[in-house]
Chains A and B, each alone.
Chain A
Amino acid sequence: MKTQLLIKQNTILIILIVTALVMIGPFIWMISTSLKAFDEVFAYPPHFIPDSWNWENFNNAWNSEPFGRYFFNSIFTTVVIVVLQVITSILAAYAFARLTFKGKNLLFLTVLATMMIPIQVTFIPNFLILSKFGWLNSYLALIVPFSTNAFGIFLIKQAFSQVPTELEEAAKLDGAKHFHIIRYIMVPLSTAAIVTFVLFSVIWHYNDFFWPLIATNNPELRTLQVGISSMISSEGGAQGTQWNLIMAAATFVLLPLIILFIFMQKYIVKGVAKTGLK
C-alpha cells in the first residue's frame, strides 16, 4: 500500500517536472540562442549549450535599437501609471467602503461595469479624445488614460471594508481626519491587497503593447514592447535573421519581470488564487 502510494506520488512528480521543463523551455532556448555566435544559431542538430559564450551579443543587441531609451520609457510610464492608479483607487475605495453618500451603490456598480468593457473598444475613441487634447505622441497619451483602475478600486475596497470599525471610530474620537484614517489605519491594514494590485498593475503596464503601438509613432516614445517589435520587423538581412541578437534583446526585456517574479512569487500566485475566483 505504501509503496503503491510512493510510486503514484513519484509518477505525478515526474509528470510535473516534465511539464515545468516544457514551460520554461522557451526561456532556456532564448538564453541559449542569445549567447551563440551567428553561425552556430543555425547549427543542425541544434546545440543547447553554446560552443562559445558570446556575451557581446547583449551589447550589440542593446545598441541595435535605442534600448536604453525604450527601457526608460517603459519603466517611467509604468511607475507613473501605477502610482496614479494606487492613489486614485485608494481614495475611491475609501469612500466606497467607509463613507455614506447618495448614489453610492449606483456609482460603485458603474465602476464594476467598466471592468466588463473590453479595453480595445475604447482605443479608437480615445485616439480621438487624445488628439483633441493634443496629447498624442507624448507621455501623456501613454499614461493618462490609465490613471485609474476599476479592478484596483474593487480590490482595495474589499480590503478596506474588512478593517474593524472600532479602530476607525477610536481614531475619529481622537479627531482624526479622513486622510489620517487612510494613512494610519486603512492602508497599513490592507497592504496585502495593495501589494497584489501594484504587482498586477506593474505586470499589465510593462507588458502593454496595443495602446503604446497606436498612441505614439515617435521612436523616442517607444516602450520596450513596441521597441522589440520594431527590432524584429527591421531585422532579416540577406544573410538571415540575427536570432542571437533578437534573443538577447528578448532576454533583457523579460529580465525585469523574471526578477520581479522571483522575489514576489508568493504575492503574485496568492493574488491570482484569491482574486481569480470571485
Chain B
Amino acid sequence: MENSQRIPKKKALVTSKSKLKPNVMEKFIPYLFILPAMSFLVIFVLLPLLMSFFLSLTDWNLISSSFSWKGFDNYIRLFTDKTFWQVVGNTLIYGFISVTITVILATLLATMLDKKIRGINFLKGLIFLPYITPMVAVSVVWIWMFDQHFGLINWFLGLFGIDQVPWLTQSGWAMAAIIIMKIWKVVGYYTIILIAGLQNIPNDFYEAARTDGANERQIFFKITLPLLSPSLLFVMIVAIIASFQDFDQIYMMTQGGPADSTNMLIYYLYQFGFQFFEAGYASSVAVMLFITLFFITWLQTHFSKKWVHY
C-alpha cells in the first residue's frame, strides 16, 4: 500500500516540475533520439515495401526512368506461369524437407549435448561453427565436394559400392545436394536454440518421472518432447521463413538449374529483376513472398497456443 501511494506522488512531482519551466525542446528530445534509426527504417525498409506493391503494378525495367501502369497484368502472368509454380513447389519442397530433417537432427543433438560431460562445449562449438561462415565461400567448398568425378562425397559413397552420383547436374540430385548442404549449415544454430529450450524444462518433471520408474524413451516422448514443443514450433517457423529466403547457395551451386529444378522464389526474383530486367514482374514475386511470410508469422502468433502443449 505504501509503495503504491508513493509512486503517483513522485510522478506528480515530476510533472509539476516540468510545468514550472515549460521547455518545448524537452518534449522533442525523445524524437531526436529515435530520428536516425526511424528515418533509415522508413527510407530503406518501409518505403521500399510500399514501393514493391506499387512497382508490381508497372512494367518498370530497373533502369529507365519511366514505366507504364499495367494493373494486375504481372500477377496474372505470375499465376499463369508454369515456371513460377514450379519455383513455388521447389521452395516448398526445399523448405519442408530441409526444415524437417534439420529440426529432427537438432532435437537429437540438443538432447545429447544438454549434458555435463567434459569437452561438451568444444563439441557444441564445432557443430555450431558452419552457421557463422559465409554461405558463398562454403558453397564453393561444397561444389568441390559434390564434384561428380573427383568429389569427396562420391569417393565416400564409392566405398559402399555406390556409383558416381551426378550431384548438381541432375534435377533430383541437385535439390538433394542443396538440402544436404543447408542442413549442414544451420543444424548447429537450431541445436543451440533447442538446448536453451531444454534447459527451460524444470528438472522436477524428470525427477518425478524417474521416481515413477519411467525409462529414457518414455521420458523423451512423454516429457521432453511435449515440454519442448513450444521451442520446436518456434524453431520450425523461423527455419521455414529463413529457408524461403535462401539465395546464396542456389546462385553459387546450381543457378536454379538444371532445368529450374532448384529455382526458388528469391532466385526467381533475382533472375527477373536483375538479369532479365523485368523489375515490375519481379516486384510481384516480392509481394507474393512478403504476403506468404506475413501469413506464416500471423498463423504462428495466433495459433501457437493451440498447437503446443504447455
- Chain A residues with a Cβ under 8 A of chain B: 9, 12-13, 15-17, 19-20, 22-24, 26-27, 29-30, 33, 41-42, 44-46, 87-89, 91-92, 94-96, 99-101, 104, 107, 110-111, 114, 116-129, 144-148, 150, 153, 178, 203, 206-207, 209-210, 213-214, 224-226, 228-229, 232, 243, 246-247, 249-250, 253-254, 257-258, 260-261, 265, 268-269, 272-274, 276-277
Contacts and interface: CB of A to CB of B under 8 A. Distances in A.
A92 B38 contact: yes
A26 B145 contact: yes
Given A153-B37, A277-B193, A26 B279 contact: no
Given A26-B130, A46-B152, 17 more contacts: A46-B150, A94-B33, A117-B46, A118-B293, A124-B269, A124-B279, A124-B286, A125-B51, A126-B44, A127-B62, A147-B36, A178-B29, A207-B136, A214-B274, A228-B136, A254-B134, A261-B132
Interface of B: 27, 29-31, 33-34, 36-38, 40-41, 43-49, 51-52, 55, 60, 62, 109, 112-113, 115, 117, 120, 123-130, 132-138, 140-145, 150, 152, 155, 184, 188-189, 192-193, 195-197, 200, 231, 234-235, 241, 244-245, 247-248, 251-252, 266, 269-270, 273-274, 279, 282-283, 286-287, 289-290, 293-294, 297
Contacts of A232: 140, 143, 252
Contact of A20 (B44, B126, B193): B126
B40 A148 contact: yes
17 contacts: A23-B126, A26-B184, A29-B144, A44-B150, A44-B155, A91-B37, A101-B30, A104-B30, A121-B289, A123-B286, A145-B44, A178-B33, A206-B134, A209-B248, A258-B129, A272-B189, A277-B196
A101 B27 contact: yes
Contacts of A265: 125
B33 A210 contact: no
Nearest to A74: B134
Contact of A23 (B34, B36, B188): B188
Q: Mostly helix, strand, loop or mixed at chain B's interface? A: helix
Closest 6 CB pairs of A and B: A125-B48, A276-B193, A125-B51, A95-B33, A122-B48, A92-B37
